[in-house]
Amino acid sequence: MDDLVKLTGERKKSPAVAKAVDEFVKRRKAREFGRILREGLLDYPMTNDEIEALDR
């Protein structure tokens, strides 16, 4: 727990645990999204060129 408190920069255990859990969930969701993209399971109707044109 001491390491967790130091790593998160929190002063108390409860906020440190909450921050660590939040970070864990975000990373897990990002990993799953990456897997979906790599496997081509995301059906997005626009091409990369069309998406980039919207940013201009």
**Residue 16 exposed, middle or buried by CB count within 10 Å (0-12, 13-18, 19+):** buried
Predicted TM-score (pTM) of the model is 0.66
Find all residues with CB under 8 Å of 16, minimum gap 6, and list them. 1, 4, 5, 7, 8, 10
Tell me how far apart the alpha carbons of residues 2 and 15 are, in angstroms, rounded to a whole number.
13
For residue 17, what pLDDT is reported? 97
Q: What is the pLDDT along the chain (56 residues), one digit of tens a residue?
A: 999 999 999 999 999 999 999 999 999 999 999 998 888 888 878 888 998 998 87
For residue 31, what pLDDT is reported? 96
For residue 46, what pLDDT is reported? 83
Count of domains for the chain:
1
Structural domain of residue 18, as residue ranges? Answer: 2-54
For residue 56, what pLDDT is reported? 77
